Structure 1
């Protein structure tokens, strides 16, 4: 019934719906007045309900029409003693009917406002109930005893909520001090411990890190209670530990890669003078043979020196083979996942220079062939260079872009809005031991290029749409098991 009345009211508040309601209401009132004629003479009184119904369901224009129709029909149907009597009664009815209509419309507005407030309170109550159901909350008495524990908190500690009622809360959080939590200065806000977080104890003896926020709330018996909102920090700590471990692994790979590049460079640079020295010693031996027996002793000594030179060259070659970047087996990986896992590491690199490193990665069709750690090392190298390039630039910006380039390739680009790369530096910047930074070893881009080439790609640099440099390369897409 209520829904039907609400539908009628909604229709009546339209322009034509309200006017139609006024006509129908007055028509019904006239019909009722006709039925009551046998009981006595009725004038305007039967018309008043028509005005009230119209005022409750429609707007003022419809109310004015209902009053006007009521007066016109009364003047037509009821004989009056004179014009003055007709005008007086009409004006009196109009004034009374309009006053009653205004009162009805005010009541309707109050009802609408009350309904809206009721809906809003119901929504807020539902939200609060959802929060209280999902967020661990414990209320304590001022002496630290558990007054109530919601199911989420009971699940957090792996205990029965009814069983812990009345127990000291520090049996669940051993270092918790009820006196500090209930103190007026600490009654609202985050409670801190000497370790930076609290350690909760589960029923099986396992411990886990906690964050605790407190607030004073009135209790049912008039006594204040302390409400504690608990946050399990286990996942946050695990993620932090994982980020640190990843950072350590990447630094280790970076050192190994750098050492491999250095060994390769040294092998290349030292190989020529060692070969030349061996050639000179060989020529000296030929000259000593001409001296006959007098040169035998010097020739043997020269042979030993030449053997040591050749041995040094062999050692360098073996070290180069051992330490240089070897070709690794490429696995099936998601490019977006490999880069997003670097989020904490990249944040630390950016925060050191006050630079925010953004990611703009398309996760569709991003399954590629890659060696995860080596690929991540290449990204870290490029981002570190970009951050150092824009660190002193106001409004500095570094963004990692990933897009599916074709059915066979996925493109990665690290872009910045720094000063860019000078044209005469593009060719030599990838050479090992070449650096534009004070104290730099000049191995970062060389290692990165070697990693990219081991993945079947080519590292290129161009002008970024941001105004700085853009280092980009392609990875080979893996069609098997492609993610949608």
Structure 2
């Protein structure tokens, strides 16, 4: 009981402190409070300015006492402050009292900087006092900016790392159209040995096809450069029937497989896909070429390419061969750079395929086929229909 009375007496004594003692106590608060603390009256004049505020704003307390608090504000807040104070006193509706917010403050030298601002109020008689607690966010913002820059660099580095694989294999990719160019030009040269009318027509056709493949080689380089610089692919609605047909024609010409059994089956309800056709053709050509290299010397080598709608707004493309097949443990490693089951392979082609498909928002995987051979499955986003 005595202890409780003693505590109440101490509280009563605190309330009964004389004005000088209260001022001294208040000055100790102004000198020790860790965040900047500014007290203003109901007409916006500064009545108290803490030590932390002096450090934050560069003003000595004597310079700002009695001045309008807008002295410490950025231009945007300064213009509306007095109107806001007047409206609050008339209506009692507060916008930021009791709610923290980030605002722009102004240093004595004119420098603008971000602060976290929290405001409390107290009514003394017929008047109000407002106490603002402020914390400098400059270093936090600087760190946030630095982190964003680092994240951007990491994203760019990651993109360059994956594309570095593509760049390392650029000759590997360009080999497709350039081999076709070579074959057409050699055929045209041989036809010129008997320059009759029919031969000249065939020469013109061969030169035209060679020119197309030269342009294609340039497109491969340009698209790789664009992807490195922007990390984007130029997707547009593309029908799979001509896309897959052109890819098959290119790989047949490149590998002299004009009589090889490559079948393409596109379901009737298969929609167009959002794709860069050049890059997706590269994927198909890579996989089909690998299939025939794996089936070298095999009787009756076959490749079946199928396309159909899939769930989730996707279209699924399957490329299946009847070759020797792969084990599940091998399929998990196929898309890693430098992983190759071919003695002459660099192990980059399928890594490139994975990079392209993922850049298109799809996935790609390999697995043993049902009977024998290997099945590759990748997805592309379907094009939106109007």
TM-score, normalized by the shorter chain, greater than 0.5: no
Highest RCO, 1 vs 2 (Cα 8 Å, sep ≥ 6)? 2
Sort the TM-score into its range (normalised by shorter chain): 0.3 to 0.5
Q: What TM-score, normalized to structure 1?
A: 0.36
The TM-score normalised by the length of structure 2 is 0.44
Larger radius of gyration: 1
* Structure that is richer in strand per residue: 2
